[in-house]
Structure 1
Amino acid sequence: MKKLFLIIGAPGSGKTTDAELIAAKHDSITHYSTGDMLRAEIASGSQRGQTIDSFVSKGKIVPIEIVIETIVGAIKSAPTNIVVIDGYPRSIEQMTELDKYLENEAEVSLTNVIEVEVSQDTAFQRVLGRAADAKVVRTDDNEEVFLNRMKLYIEPLSEIKTFYTEKNLLKVISGEGTIEEIVSEMDIFIQSRV
């Protein structure tokens, strides 16, 4: 049985970095970022990648079927029984589609959804800082796209939080501290659930 942890957070909340560091500490955890999976598909130059790029480059949400196919494939082929995926769900539709899928899935259990909570100001400063870092080249790191991505993140957030709270699956962690503090809190929580 695969235990699935979903990590959500605003653009710039640090959710991908947090998940990468936790996975690096444990051989038993596989980390996937929906963003990285989608960017890898874009980089491959495939037809699906071109379709994804037409959405991502404008800061828009990628169609549900493409994202679900990507996620389901990743979970099934994960080399470990604990899978951490960050950046999903980003919409009510993504949440309900994944929930419907998991209801009929004997091999995968959604263990928890972890929200990395940051202020819009903190998220904005981090994204602009990332854009200025020459080692990380991302075309989606500019002010206009950031504000669009932030709006898309915030709009469904209260409904997503309510949905997972009612299922007793939501854990909120402050993303305002140091990376070490955030990773430590998230890691302790994940270990307590496996």
Structure 2
Amino acid sequence: MKKLFLIIGAPGSGKTTDAQLIAQNHADKIVHYSTGDLLRNEVASGSERGRLIESFTSKGNLVPLHIVVETIVTAIKNAPKDVILIDGYPRSVEQMESLDNVLKSQDGVALISVIEVDVSEAVAKERVLGRARGADDNTEVFNNRMRVYQEPLKAIQEFYTRSKILKRINGERTIAEIVKEMEDFIQSKI
């Protein structure tokens, strides 16, 4: 049985870095996928799907549901380890419901927890604009990405709270403190 942990957080919350470090520390049993990286790899491949994905991401908008779910489910099925961390998903109520439906129809994967790395909008903006690593790291795109993240957040939190699998972590500490708390939590569940 594969054990799935979803890690959500605002742009700049550190969710990808946190998940990467945990997977590196436990490379024998944990694999990490970033939704963003899965989609960027598709864009970089130059495929038709990649060009379609880029037409959405370049404006800070969400990639259509069926493309994202297909990409994630494929990654889970092909994962070489039994513990899977996926960050940056779900980003909408529809993505959450779609994955929930897919997981209910499969025996081999259990969603163990959704971990929210909680940061203020001010901290997120400072981090994203401070790193400015790509064309999508500017104030206008950040504001859109933040709005896209925040709009469904309450419904996502409520859904996973009802399921008793939401874990919130303060993301405004050092990377070491955040990773330790997240790592301890994941270890306690596997």
Partner of 2:165: 169
Partner of 1:81: 82
* TM-score, normalised with respect to structure 2: 0.99
The amino acid that maps onto 2:9 is G
Partner of 1:5: 5
The percentage of counterpart residues that share the same residue type is 63
SS at match of 1:121: helix
The amino acid that maps onto 1:54 is S
Partner of 1:134: none
Partner of 2:119: 118
CA distance in 2, matches of 1:43, 1:60: 18
SS at match of 2:107: coil
Residue 86 of structure 1, CA deviation: 0.1
The amino acid that maps onto 1:46 is S
Say what the alpha-carbon RMSD is for the aligned residues.
0.5
Residue 130 of structure 1, CA deviation: 1.1
Partner of 1:53: 54
Q: Which runs of 5+ in 2 are unaligned?
A: none
CA distance in 2, matches of 1:62, 1:89: 12
The amino acid that maps onto 2:25 is K
Residue 20 of structure 1, CA deviation: 0.1
Residue 138 of structure 1, CA deviation: 1.8
SS at match of 1:85: strand
Residue 37 of structure 1, CA deviation: 0.5
- Match 2:146 to one of 139, 142, 150: 150
Residue 85 of structure 1, CA deviation: 0.0
CA distance in 1, matches of 2:72, 2:136: 21
The amino acid that maps onto 1:83 is I
Taking the TM superposition and a 5 Å limit, the aligned residue runs for 1:178-189 are 178-189=174-185
CA distance in 1, matches of 2:16, 2:134: 14
CA distance in 1, matches of 2:140, 2:44: 23
The amino acid that maps onto 2:104 is E
CA distance in 2, matches of 1:36, 1:152: 18
SS at match of 1:161: helix
CA distance in 2, matches of 1:95, 1:190: 20
Per-residue CA deviation, residues 2-59 of structure 1 (Å, 9 max, x unaligned), is 1000000000000000000000000200000000000010000000000000000000
Write out the 4+ residue segments of structure 1 that deviate beyond 4 Å after TM superposition.
Answer: none
SS at match of 1:171: strand
Residue 129 of structure 1, CA deviation: 1.3
SS at match of 1:4: strand
SS at match of 2:3: strand
